[in-house]
Amino acid sequence: MVPFETLYGRKCCSPIHWSEVGERVALGPDVLQEAEEKVCLARQRLVTAQTPQQSYANKRRKDLEFAVGDRVFLKVSPMRSVKQFGVLGKLSPRFIGPYEVLERVVELREDMTYQEFLVCILAREVKKLRNRTIPYVKVQWSNHAKHEATWELEETMQKTYPHLFE
């Protein structure tokens, strides 16, 4: 006996055979046509159910506008079973910040990306391992403030921007 029948006391009714319960041979284009009709009907009913909920939510939603200098919090969606921001589960933060709204003009391309280039090297540091040393440079990028500078390998920066290391 099939586990479904054992558990529920009836045969399993798959989406293809919603119209009838029992033995049936699944052959021919009429079965595919019936399945497509059932899927279309299910989609229509989903749209019908979602429309009032969507309009209800949209009435209460408002567009937010911020001015330069405002302090804002960013809403984050914590992923289940992933440790983010140092806390796991219910106590993980829902908002991070506050961040200050800055005025920056960035030229965007057609595909909504922008060119970023190295502005200057702020610091140098050498990481010492047992057998070797790895030189790093602290780099300030265009469209970013000094406190947003990143540590990059000096070797890769020399290859990409040789004029800064002369």
- Which domains occur in the chain, in start order? 3-60 (no CATH), 71-100 (no CATH), 118-165 (2.40.50)
pTM for this one?
A: 0.42
Q: What is the maximum span of the chain, computed from C-alpha positions, in angstroms?
A: 82
Count the Cβ atoms, other than its own, within 10 Å of residue 137.
23
How far from 147 is each of 98, 120, 140, 143, CA to CA, in Å?
16, 13, 8, 12
Strand ranges for the chain from DSSP E: 71-75, 95-100, 118-128, 133-141, 150-153
Per-residue pLDDT of the chain (166 residues; tens, 9 = 90+): 566 676 667 777 666 555 555 565 556 778 778 888 888 888 888 888 888 888 888 888 888 888 998 999 988 776 655 555 566 667 777 788 898 888 877 788 888 888 888 888 999 999 999 999 999 999 999 888 888 899 999 999 999 888 877 7
Answer for the pair 121, 139: CB distance below 8 angstroms, yes or no.
yes
pLDDT of residue 78: 63
Answer for the pair 134, 155: CB distance below 8 angstroms, yes or no.
no
Answer for the pair 70, 102: CB distance below 8 angstroms, yes or no.
no
Q: How far apart are CA 48 and CA 44, in angstroms?
A: 6
How buried is residue 139: exposed, middle or buried, by Cβ count under 10 Å (0-12/13-18/19+)? buried
Q: How far apart are CA 138 and CA 18, in angstroms?
A: 65
pLDDT of residue 136: 95
